[in-house]
């Protein structure tokens, strides 16, 4: 499909949402040239030829909010233990031979008071554990990742496989699945979070990034999953301030299956207009291996996504049937 055609299709599908189910299927058939069964509208555009040939799921691992630092516990946060917890996660991912591993932000923390060289050392130490994974690795920027260092300092010390180290938001493709990493670490005035110059409740996706996101989704040839630290499925302190605008871009693309998030340590789940929003429980919370948290996601050829949670992480099946039930 040409870029303009994708947007036109999304607009036509959007205008049909208020009609009954049979009318919506007829619109899909006329727009896409295929018969539309009982599937959610926003997933209809993603069954491109390479993905349709897939016989096995794409499988990836994810972990979030390690907050690693060599400092004493504070409340329910056990910072030092995150290194060993992450090691368990990486070992599991290697044993399961997942296709890639991603962490969803707040990878490291800082001392009290913060010392820049110590903070960088914590980052390098936890990244060394993460790099034990035998495959592509990716990072999402969280607010604590730039609490006493800059974005370039963080990005220059981690590996996002095949991605320029200056990029804080980017995309990648693995076995037909399109991954999109967003950076919401911008103040309302458009300034980057930098060495703690921010209020953590003021998280935003700026206009330039939104425009990039539109272009990236238009060019994507397969189904997409989105990764972000701050949440996109509501309003309040832990959410991206312009989340509604971001969700509109995702929905109009007709390609996004799910959004995977961190930041809210207790975890959560939501579904809005046919897109799943899964918030993973934080690694740093709780003492001992039994309080670890990480997950494997399997995106099946039929576009169902199965989340297998380990330790405290929640299991969830993100099915097209559920989406149809919610949207019909």
Q: Does the pLDDT value for residue 14 go beyond 80?
A: no
Q: How confident is the model at residue 319 (pLDDT cuts 50, 70, 90)?
A: confident
Shared domain for 154 and 201, answered yes or no, is yes
Report the CATH number at residue 142: 3.60.21.10
Q: How confident is the model at residue 304 (pLDDT cuts 50, 70, 90)?
A: very high
Distance of CA 94 to the CA centre of its chain: 20
Q: What order of strands is seen across the sheet that includes strand 256-261?
A: 170-174, 177-181, 224-228, 256-261, 275-279, 268-272
Mean pLDDT of all residues in 192-209 = 97
302: left (phi > 0), else alpha (psi -120 to 50), else beta?
A: alpha
Mean pLDDT of all residues in 66-76 = 98
Least confident of 63-67, 90-94, 182-186, 315-319: 315-319
Please name which of 177, 179, 180 lies closest in space to residue 169, comparing C-alpha atoms.
180
Shared domain for 110 and 169, answered yes or no, is yes
Mean pLDDT of all residues in 187-212 = 97
Q: How confident is the model at residue 55 (pLDDT cuts 50, 70, 90)?
A: confident
Percent of the chain surpassing pLDDT 70:
82
DSSP assignment string, 18-69: TS-HHHHHHHHHHHHSS---S--GGGGGG--HHHHT--S-EEEEEE----B-
Q: Does the pLDDT value for residue 6 go beyond 70?
A: no
Between residues 14 and 90, which one has the greater pLDDT? 90
Shared domain for 68 and 20, answered yes or no, is no
pLDDT at 17: 35
Mean pLDDT of all residues in 3-25 = 36
Of the CA atoms within 13 Å of residue 310, those in its CB half-sphere come to 21
Shared domain for 2 and 108, answered yes or no, is no
Q: Does the pLDDT value for residue 309 go beyond 90?
A: yes
Shared domain for 28 and 158, answered yes or no, is no
pLDDT at 225: 98
Indicate whether this model's pTM tops 0.85. no
Q: Does the pLDDT value for residue 31 go beyond 90?
A: no
pLDDT at 51: 76
Mean pLDDT of all residues in 191-199 = 95
Shared domain for 205 and 90, answered yes or no, is yes
Shared domain for 23 and 143, answered yes or no, is no
pLDDT digits (tens, 9 = 90+) for 222-252: 999 999 999 999 999 999 999 999 999 999 9
Which structural domain, as residue segments, surrounds residue 13? 1-37
Shared domain for 121 and 242, answered yes or no, is yes
pLDDT at 45: 39
Shared domain for 205 and 239, answered yes or no, is yes
151: its two tokens = 């974005």
How many C-beta atoms lie closer than 10 Å to residue 205's C-beta? 25
Shared domain for 19 and 64, answered yes or no, is no
pLDDT digits (tens, 9 = 90+) for 89-141: 999 999 999 999 999 999 999 999 999 999 999 999 999 999 999 999 999 99
Shared domain for 32 and 136, answered yes or no, is no
Shared domain for 22 and 122, answered yes or no, is no
Percent of the chain surpassing pLDDT 90:
80
Q: How confident is the model at residue 12 (pLDDT cuts 50, 70, 90)?
A: very low
Please name which of 271, 273, 277, 256 lies closest in space to residue 327, comparing C-alpha atoms.
273
Q: Does the pLDDT value for residue 293 go beyond 90?
A: yes
Q: Does the pLDDT value for residue 321 go beyond 90?
A: no
Mean pLDDT of all residues in 181-189 = 98
User: Average pLDDT of the chain?
Assistant: 86
Please, are residues 93 and 101 in contact by the beta-carbon 8 Å criterion?
yes
Mean pLDDT of all residues in 7-26 = 36
Distance of CA 152 to the CA centre of its chain: 21
Domain count, the chain: 2
Strands 275-279 and 293-299: unpaired
Least confident of 43-47, 138-142, 206-210: 43-47
């Amino acid at each position: 499909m040409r870029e303009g055609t994708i947007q036109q299709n999304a607009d036509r599908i959007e205008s049909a949402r208020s009609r009954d189910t049979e009318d919506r299927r007829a619109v899909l058939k006329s727009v896409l040239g295929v018969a539309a069964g009982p599937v959610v509208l926003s997933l209809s555009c993603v069954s491109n030829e390479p993905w349709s040939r897939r016989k096995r799921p794409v499988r990836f691992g994810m972990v979030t909010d390690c907050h690693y630092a060599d400092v004493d516990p504070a409340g329910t946060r056990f910072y030092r233990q995150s290194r060993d917890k992450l090691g368990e996660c990486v070992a599991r991912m290697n044993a399961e031979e997942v296709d890639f591993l991603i962490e969803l932000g707040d990878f490291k923390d800082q001392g009290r008071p913060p010392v820049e060289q110590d903070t960088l050392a914590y980052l390098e130490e936890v990244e060394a554990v993460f790099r034990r994974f035998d495959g592509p690795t990716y990072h999402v920027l969280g607010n604590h990742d730039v609490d006493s260092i800059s974005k370039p300092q963080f990005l220059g010390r981690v590996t996002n496989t095949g991605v320029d180290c200056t990029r804080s938001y980017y995309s990648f493709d693995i076995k037909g699945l399109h991954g999109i990493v967003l950076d919401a670490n911008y103040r309302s005035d458009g300034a980057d979070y930098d060495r703690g110059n921010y209020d953590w409740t003021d998280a935003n996706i700026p206009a330039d990034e939104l425009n990039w996101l539109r272009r990236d989704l238009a060019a994507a040839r397969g189904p997409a999953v989105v990764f972000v630290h701050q949440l996109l499925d509501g309003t309040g302190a832990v959410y991206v301030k312009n989340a509604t605008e971001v969700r509109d871009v995702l929905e109009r693309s007709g390609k996004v299956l799910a959004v995977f998030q961190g930041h809210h340590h207790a975890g959560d789940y939501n579904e809005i207009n046919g897109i799943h929003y899964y918030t993973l429980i934080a690694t740093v919370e709780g003492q001992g291996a039994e309080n670890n948290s990480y997950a494997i996601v399997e995106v099946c050829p039929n576009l169902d996504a199965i989340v297998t949670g380990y330790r405290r992480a929640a299991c969830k099946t993100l099915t097209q049937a559920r989406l149809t039930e919610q949207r019909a």
